[in-house]
Amino acid sequence: MKTVKRFFSLVMTIILSIGVSFSVGAESVERTNDTTDIVLKVPVVSFENELEFQKALERNQGICKLGITPYSGAMNIYAGVIRNGNTTNCEFILAWSGTDILSGIRFKKIVVRSTSGIFRETYATFGEEPYTKYTTKYVSAAATGSIVIDNFNLDSDVTMVEIRGTDVQWREVITSEWNSCRSITAAVPVN
């Protein structure tokens, strides 16, 4: 009888140990995934002509009550670096796609730096010092597009950079509101 009790005690101990280790492992995976970006695939909205656009404007009148505009669409803003041939000259671009029409992008500070965790080097910083004011770029109204923010030099052997954006916002055409987007933090290849 004692042998049977010890056997069941041993089996229960093993089962509990495995259960605890799985839950601890799941908790650590959840924490490391907190900083990953989520990319959503969304339909692109476009208008055939100005009349259709005006009708959309009329349909959306009265949405804003007490100065609060709820946002229910989806807008993704991406950062990229494009190299000019085999030179050190690169363009820093912001691209967007979403369900609403964007007419401008603004930010306080965007830093392009090395992906090394130990020997971090800053390649370029965009924005107005002391980075309390917005740098604003207006664009032709579109649900999908891109804009060159500025040029900078990058060693020709660098193929991947990390981009960090602070207080990145986009202006929606219909409501004329500035909407905050998810902060840009990503490692991107130099194309």
Tokens of 124: 């370029």
Provide the residue-wise pLDDT of the chain in tens; the chain has 191 residues. 667 667 666 656 666 555 544 444 344 333 333 444 444 333 344 555 556 655 655 555 444 333 333 445 677 888 889 998 888 999 999 888 888 888 999 999 999 999 887 888 999 999 888 878 889 999 998 888 899 999 999 998 999 999 988 888 889 888 888 888 767 788 888 88
At 99, which helix (H) or strand (E)? Answer: strand 89-107
- Residues linked to residue 92 through DSSP beta bridges, in sequence order: 81, 150
Dihedral in degrees, nearest 10, Cα atoms 94, 52, 99, 105 = 30
**How distant, in Å, are the alpha carbons of 53, 90, 101, 133, 171 from that of 139?**
17, 21, 11, 19, 10
Report yes or no: 159 and 114 within 8 Å, Cβ to Cβ: no
The model's pTM is 0.59
